């Protein structure tokens, strides 16, 4: 798969049906960040320790999940497409308002 093919496939994912199915990345990632924050606080660090996760952290951590799959030997092109998609969503979330 070419660079353009990966980017085109990622664009089709993040700018198409997926948003209709799951809502905007901003909203969906915000919900995931809150669920992960609660889980990490309860299971990993305990009460009184600040765990601060935001929407673009979700994108970064999902990229790391995909990198882990690649490192584990997965040859699926889907991992590369998903990394590009998560990068696009995370970059947009992180920079929203910066250009305004």
Q: What is the mean pLDDT of the chain?
A: 92
Q: Is residue 47 a contact partner of residue 81, using CB atoms and an 8 Å limit?
A: no
Q: Is residue 75 a contact partner of residue 1, using CB atoms and an 8 Å limit?
A: no
Q: Tell me, what's the pLDDT at 48?
A: 87
Alpha helices in 15-54 (DSSP H): 17-22, 25-40
Q: Is residue 26 a contact partner of residue 93, using CB atoms and an 8 Å limit?
A: yes
Distance CA 48, CA 65 (A): 27
For the entire predicted model, the pTM comes to: 0.89
Distance CA 50, CA 35 (A): 14
Q: Tell me, what's the pLDDT at 98?
A: 62
43 has a pLDDT exceeding 50: yes
């Amino acid at each position: 798969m070419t660079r353009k093919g990966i980017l085109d496939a990622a664009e089709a994912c993040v700018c198409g049906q997926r948003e209709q199915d799951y809502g905007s990345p901003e909203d969906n990632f915000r919900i995931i960040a809150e669920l992960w924050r609660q889980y990490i606080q309860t299971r990993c660090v305990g009460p009184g320790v600040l765990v601060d996760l935001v929407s673009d952290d979700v994108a970064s951590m999902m990229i790391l999940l995909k990198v882990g799959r690649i490192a584990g030997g997965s040859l699926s092109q889907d991992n590369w497409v998903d990394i590009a998609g998560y990068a696009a969503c995370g970059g947009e979330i992180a920079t929203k308002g910066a250009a305004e």
